[in-house]
C-alpha cells in the first residue's frame, strides 16, 4: 500500500536520504515496530522509540506515534522518513581493516572517503559497530544485525578493544600506572586499562592498550593527560575478533563460529536473537 498524503507530510524533510534500508527477518509472528527499526540499523532500540514518537514512521500508509505497535516485517509496508524498509534474507557480518584517512560514516559532508568506499556490495545496508577516528586504522565490524551491534557497544558488556599505539616520548612507570588505573577526563575517571610496552624508538614508545569502554577519542585524550600525545592508533582486536592477515582496505565475512562467539560474549542465545524484546 502506498503512503498516504498525511504520512508524506509528517516526515518530509527529516533525516534519512534516498536509499533502501534492508533488514533480516525470518518467518515469524508480529514483532514490535521498534525492534524492526533497530534491526534495520535506523537507531538503537531506545532511539527507534524516539523516531516513532516523532511521527517519522509510517506503516501501511498510517503514521505511527505510539509505542507497542506490532508489525509483520514480511507483509507490512514500513517507511522511515519516506524510505522503505525492505527485506533481506540473511544477516551480514563483515570485518574491515579500516585504512587511515577515512571516516566511519556512510556519508561525509566534507567529501572525504568513508569506510563504505572499501566495502564490497553485501546485498544489505550495513552500519559500523562503534567507530575509529579519521586518522586511526584497524579492525572495524560492520553488520545489519542491530540487536548484536547494540549489545556489543553497550558498556554493560565491557567488550574489549585492543590497540597498538605509538606515543610521543617514553612514559615513566608512574605515567604507565596512571593509564592502567585511570585518567581523569571530562566524562570522569577512565576504567582500568591493560597497558603494555611493546617497543620503543628514540622519540616514541609503542604500547598495547586494552580498553573495556569506548569514550570519544579516549586513547588520544589519555595520552595527552599523561604528557605523551598519541602519534598513531591501530585497533588490532575487538573482543574475540582479530585482523589476521588483512591489509588496509581489505575485508572478509565472519565465520559462523566467530558470530557465535560474539553472541555468547553479550549473553544472547538463539531464542533471544529472534525473540520480541
Q: Which residues are catalytic?
A: 133
Contacts of 99 (CB under 8 A, 6+ apart): 118, 137, 248, 249
Distance CA 116, CA 240 (A): 23
Work out whether the CA dihedral 98, 104, 105, 107 comes out positive or negative: negative
Task: Report phi then psi at 135, rounded to 5.
Answer: -95, 5
Supply 155's cell numbers: 558498556
Measured in whole angstroms, how far is the alpha carbon of residue 156 from the centre of its chain? 15
Cell numbers found for residue 146: 542491530
Grid cell listed for 158: 565491557
List CB contacts of 115: < 8 A, sequence separation 6 or more: 96, 98, 102, 103, 104, 105, 128, 140, 142
| Partners of 189 in beta bridges | 184
Grid cell of 226 as nine digits: 599523561
Amino acid at each position: 500500500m502506498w503512503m498516504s498524503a498525511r504520512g508524506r507530510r509528517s516526515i518530509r524533510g527529516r533525516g534519512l536520504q534516498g536509499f533502501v534500508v534492508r533488514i533480516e527477518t525470518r518467518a515469524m509472528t508480529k514483532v514490535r515496530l521498534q525492534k524492526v527499526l533497530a534491526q534495520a540499523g535506523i537507531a538503537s532500540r531506545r532511539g527507534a522509540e524516539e523516531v516513532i514518537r516523532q511521527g517519522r514512521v509510517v506503516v501501511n500508509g498510517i503514521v505511527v506515534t505510539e509505542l507497542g505497535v506490532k508489525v509483520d516485517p514480511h507483509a507490512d509496508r514500513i517507511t522511515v522518513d519516506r524510505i522503505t524498509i525492505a527485506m533481506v534474507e540473511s544477516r551480514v557480518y563483515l570485518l574491515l581493516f579500516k585504512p587511515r584517512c577515512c571516516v566511519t560514516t556512510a556519508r561525509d559532508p566534507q567529501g572525504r572517503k568513508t569506510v563504505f568506499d572499501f566495502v564490497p556490495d553485501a546485498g544489505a545496508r550495513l552500519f559500523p559497530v562503534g567507530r575509529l577516528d579519521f586518522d586511526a586504522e584497524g579492525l572495524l565490524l560492520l553488520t545489519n544485525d542491530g540487536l548484536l551491534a547494540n549489545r556489543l557497544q553497550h558498556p554493560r558488556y565491557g567488550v574489549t578493544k585492543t590497540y597498538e599505539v605509538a606515543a610521543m616520548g617514553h612514559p615513566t612507570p608512574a605515567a604507565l600506572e596512571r593509564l592502567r588505573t585511570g585518567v581523569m577526563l571530562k566524562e570522569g575517571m577512565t576504567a582500568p586499562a591493560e597497558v603494555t610496552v611493546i617497543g620503543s624508538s628514540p622519540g616514541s614508545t609503542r604500547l598495547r592498550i586494552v580498553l573495556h569502554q569506548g569514550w570519544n577519542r579516549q586513547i588520544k585524550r589519555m595520552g595527552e593527560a599523561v604528557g605523551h600525545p598519541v602519534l598513531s592508533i591501530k585497533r588490532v582486536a575487538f573482543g574475540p575478533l582479530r585482523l589476521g592477515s588483512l591489509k588496509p582496505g581489505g575485508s572478509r565475512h565472519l565465520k559462523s563460529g566467530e558470530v557465535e562467539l560474539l553472541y555468547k560474549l553479550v549473553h544472547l542465545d538463539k531464542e533471544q536473537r529472534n525473540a520480541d524484546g
